[in-house]
Amino acid sequence: MSLKILNILLADDDEDDRWLFQKALSDLKIKTNLSLFKNGKELMEHLIRTETTPHLIFLDLNMPLKNGMECLTEIRSSCNLKAIPVAIYSTSSSEKDIENTFVNGANIYINKPSNFADLKNAIDKVLQLNWQYHTSNLNKDNFLFRI
């Protein structure tokens, strides 16, 4: 198989959540390269510095220094970054929050699952969808999913 490795970024201030995410990701069939960030500020500094464009960014909403919504808005208003798919990864299940993130350009909204098996399934589904949008003729303007 000639599949490339997906570069994935995750910004989440909760250490346990970062660890679980990493663990879940490493159990999946899709090959990935994960970079972790403790808050939105670290993530945005990395995005401005780096020369490799990530294939997908996972963003927690509530983070210190710079929250997920602020990151999303910055990403979508930057010429270099605006095409990167963004998945919101949050405990909030408020309809208003969810709609707001979509309106501001999020592609996927994931309610943080409460157990490890569901977490793995959710991440797997996101990666599969993202893969289809990278490799098939699907309209990226309508890349909207709630998981």
The site for other proteins (CB under 8 A) is made up of 1-3, 29-30, 76, 99, 102-105, 109, 127-129, 131-132, 135-139, 141-142, 144-147
Least distance to other proteins from the beta carbon of 122, Å? 11
Cβ proximity to other proteins: between 23 and 82 the closer is 82
What are all long-range contacts of 42-51, with beta carbons under 8 Å and residues at least 24 apart? 42/11, 43/9, 43/11, 43/71, 44/71, 44/74, 46/9, 47/9, 47/75, 47/81
3-state secondary structure of 146: strand
Which segments of the chain does DSSP mark as H helices, in order? 15-26, 40-49, 68-76, 95-103, 116-135
Cβ proximity to other proteins: between 63 and 127 the closer is 127
Cβ proximity to other proteins: between 91 and 128 the closer is 128
Cβ proximity to other proteins: between 16 and 141 the closer is 141
Q: What are phi and psi of 86, to 5 degrees?
A: -120, 130
Closest CA to 101 of 40, 59, 63: 59
Least distance to other proteins from the beta carbon of 62, Å? 21
Cβ proximity to other proteins: between 15 and 91 the closer is 91
Least distance to other proteins from the beta carbon of 13, Å? 25
Residue with token string 């303007």: 141
Least distance to other proteins from the beta carbon of 38, Å? 27
Least distance to other proteins from the beta carbon of 127, Å? 7
